[in-house]
Structure 1
Amino acid sequence: MKNYVWLLVGVSLLLFMAACGNSDQEVIGAENGEWEPQEVIEIVAPAGAGGGYDTTARMAVQAFAEEGIIEQSMGVVNKVGGGGAVGWAYVADQDCSPYHMFVTSPPFLLVPLNGQSQYGYEEFTPIANIIADYPAFAVAADAKWDNLNELFDDMKADPSSVTVVGTSSPGSMDHIAFAMVAKAAGVDITKIKYVSAQDNAGLTQVLNGSADVFSTGVAETVEQVKAGNLKVLGVTSEERLEGETLEDFPTVAEQDIDASIINWRGFFGPPNMPKEAQEYYEEKFKELSESDAFADIRNRFGWGEMYMDSEETKQYLDEQHAEFKVILEELGLAK
């Protein structure tokens, strides 16, 4: 019986090694001893078309091609659902593949922490972080508040008197970004009234008066501010952003609120991505970050430059994971 058990273990190990063996053979067999992709590279945007993930992935693919950084064909595939969890599960199934990756951001940490995904960040292969985006808090143009301190004074008196709306689910980015800033301002965050709205309904709710504050990405506010529909009370960047309209948005810090939140966006490979492939993509994303084409893209969308290599990305996520766990526990949303 004991020999039979060991036989099963041995067979399982051989099957696992064989499953990853095809990718390893491709890596070892590359010309000049350096791996280069020989097949179409698939980047998963774990959300619908037009959102932050989709835009980041498609702009990266565009710049890779325009600058000749990666000559192999690249495609973007949208996997919608679960706050990103559907996309992560899909890439997790591509174990060992050097041809799959996904773009993600802080919900990659938040969603597993609040129990909505079985996949934690530790299970995937960090490649590189490339941009910093920033949360923004906006209200209708005719709202009574002209800055965050006026808003938070009302919320300190009665937190539930203000309805905050965001696209993400409770316990994910739009909710947590607002809660972290409100906490730093002295608001009882356990009593904040946060509602989730999909398909841009959050903007509609603020404009029709059914919600008071729109917690979103800064890029989602610019055109509405230009049109005279919204005013931005604060953004979480350490300094004012550059660019028309963006430069007019006050930061949280300049309103004496000690909170700085980055909605980073980075790329990850599946579990057990071959090291040679990881290193190849890491270097290519560095070239992308330093390119003129991607600098223009960052300026267009109000993104900050934030390249981190795989090791720096892993360390940063470890730190942010611990920080998010604390605030989710305070909100009673940690699982």
Structure 2
Amino acid sequence: MKKLLPFLALVFLMIFTAACSDSEEASKGADGEWTPDKAIEIVSPSGAGGGWDTTARMVGKVFNETGIIEQDIGVVNKPGGGGAVGWASIHEKEGSNTDLFVSSPPILLVPLNGQSEYGHEDFTPLSNVIADYAAFAVTADAKWDNLNELFDDMKKDPSSVTVIGASSPGSMDHIQFVKIAKAAGVDVTKIKYVSDQDGGALTALLNGSVDVYSTGVAETVEQVKAGKIKVLGVTSEERLEGDVLSDFPTVKEQGIDATFVNWRGFFGPPNMDPAAVKFYEEKFKELSESDEFAEIRKKFGWSEMYMDSAEYKAFLDEEKKDIKSLLEELGLAK
């Protein structure tokens, strides 16, 4: 019997290995490349209706409607902590090839200001897909008609103007305004910024509780159409195309030499299969080049900004250095 034990152990090992191999092959396509073997879930680390949520849903919609990805794609909202709750939920899925999330500059900002234990280095960057831009809005009857008028007042007394955004202090809506104000000569350490992460920022602007709303371009269009607000400037290199959007003056054309790009892309958990990373890179590239997604970009005022996994990682590493310097000046880096 003792002589049979090594033989039986070898047979068991061969059966186990074959079973694992069969399981692995279940996620391979006919050409031997990796394909999803179950539904893909994209986490939006925010509530419904914001930039992350809209991007995730539009991407999933185009993937499925065009057949670029045939597997079902669902979007789940996991708000909290400026994105940290959603990121933590994906980090727990280490090694998964079908759990993704959408993110943007907060994945650099939030860890740097100490509000998340996870940063971009803790995940697998897949592809960046778009560039969005900041917009600085005031009420339609505000005394300022351009950014220079606003910043002239802020140079005299930075705290006389209250700025509101949907992100926490040290995160995107705050930093995008600070970057432009700094380039205009404002003492950014004295800027009065209010965070409203419960969806009340626009209401606060309209009822006069605050003076300036720092947000994304897409979030301003309907209110501008309704005649309730005016946009003093957007942070794109050139004027955006589209209904209403083309009327928004850029920061640069007002003599302020600065821009802010709200890049937006997709990540997976740590330790994804390299074959799965390759799959998503190619699919996001196909999406980016499609006519259908070009229409989506036009609708929301987004620009094309595709990067593959390696390019995305290098870009994020460099962006983090720049952002850290600004946070340190504000005394917000941890």
Query: Does the alignment reach a TM-score above 0.5?
Result: yes
For residues 198-237 of structure 1, the aligned pairs below 5 Å read 198-237=197-236
In the other structure, the counterpart of 1:108 is: 107
Relative to structure 1, the CA distance from residue 231 to residue 93 in structure 2 (aligned partners, 3 Å threshold; closer, same or farther) is: same
**1:55-83: per-residue Cα shift (whole Å, max 9, x none)?**
10010010001111000111111111111
- Supply the AA of the counterpart residue of 2:209: S
Report the residue type matching 1:317 in the other structure. Answer: L
Q: Distance in 2 between matches of 1:201 and 1:90?
A: 26
Equivalent residue letter for 2:284: F
Does 1:50 find its partner at 2:19? Answer: no
The 3-state SS of whatever aligns with 1:219 is helix
- 2:31 aligns to what SS in structure 1? helix
Counterpart Cα distance in 1 of 2:92 and 2:22: 14
Which letter does structure 1 place at the counterpart of 2:166? T
How far is the alpha carbon of 1:312 from its aligned partner?
1.1
- Deviation of 1:25 after TM superposition, in Å, equals 2.7
CA contact (8 A) 1:66 1:293 kept: no
Contact 1:27 1:34 in 2 (8 A): no
Pick closer, same or farther for the CA change 1:29–1:68 going to 2, 3 Å: closer
Give 1 or 2 for the bigger CA radius of gyration: 2
Cα distance, 1:32 vs. partner?
Answer: 2.4
Distance 1:24 1:279 in 2: 20
Per the alignment, residue 324 of structure 1 pairs with: 323
Identity of aligned residues (%): 69
Q: 2:166 matched to which residue of 1?
A: 167
1:24–1:274 CA contact under 8 A, matched in 2: no
Cα drift, residue 30 of structure 1: 4.4
Residue segments in structure 1 that go unaligned for 5+ positions in a row: 1-17
**CA distance in structure 1 between the partners assigned to 2:126 and 2:28 by the alignment:** 22
* Secondary structure in 2 matching 1:326: helix
1:308-334 superposed Cα distances (whole Å, 9 cap, x missing partner): 111111111111100110010000100
- Identify which range, 173-182 or 42-51, moves more after superposition: 42-51
Partners of 1:22 and 1:269 lie apart in 2 by 23
Q: Note if contact 1:166-1:216 (Cα within 8 Å) is conserved in structure 2.
A: yes
| C-alpha RMSD over aligned residues | 1.6
2:259 counterpart of 1:260: yes
Deviations 1:123-169 (A, max 9, x none): 11110000111000000001010100010000000000000000001
Q: Which runs of 4+ in 1 moved over 4 A?
A: 21-24, 26-30
Shift in Å, 1:48: 0.8
Cα distance in 1, alignment partners of residues 23 and 113 from structure 2: 35
Provide closer, same or farther for how the CA distance between residues 233 and 240 of structure 1 changes in structure 2, counting only shifts above 3 A.
same
**Contact 1:110 / 1:173 at 8 angstroms: preserved in 2?**
yes
Moved more, 232-241 or 26-35: 26-35
Match of 1:84 in 2: 83
The residue identity in structure 2 corresponding to 1:292 is D
Answer yes or no: is the 8 Å Cα contact 1:27–1:276 preserved in 2: no
